[in-house]
Structure 1
Amino acid sequence: MSESSLRAVGWARSLPLDSSVKTARDWARGHLRSLGWTESAPDTVDDVLLTISELVTNAHVHAHSAAHLVLAWDSRCLHVSVHDTSPRLPTPRPPDAERTGGRGMLLVEALAETWQARPCPDGKTVHACFRPALSAPRGH
Structure 2
Amino acid sequence: MTESTLRAVGWARSLPLHSDVKTARDWTRDHLRKLGWTTSAPQTVDAVLLTVSELVTNAHTHAHSSAQLVMTWDERCLHVAVHDGSATLPAPKPPSTERTGGRGLFLVAALADSWEAHRCPDGKAVIACFRSPAMTGDRH
TM-score bracket, shorter-length normalisation: over 0.9
Matching residue of 2:14: 14
Aligned amino acid, residue 29 of structure 1: R
Aligned amino acid, residue 126 of structure 2: V
Runs of 5+ unmatched residues, structure 1: 136-140
Shift of 1:4: 2.5
Identity %: 71
Q: What is the rounded CA distance, in whole Å, between the counterparts of 1:46 and 1:92 in structure 2?
A: 22
TM-score normalized by the length of structure 2: 0.92
Shift of 1:134: 3.9
1:1-140 alignment runs, 5 A limit: 3-5=2-4, 6-131=6-131, 132=133, 133-134=136-137
CA RMSD of aligned residues (A): 1.2
TM-score normalized by the length of structure 1: 0.92
Q: What is the rounded CA distance, in whole Å, between the counterparts of 1:87 and 1:106 in structure 2?
A: 20
Runs of 5+ unmatched residues, structure 2: none
Q: What is the rounded CA distance, in whole Å, between the counterparts of 1:32 and 1:3 in structure 2?
A: 24
Higher helix share: 2
Over alpha carbons, which structure has the higher Rg? 1
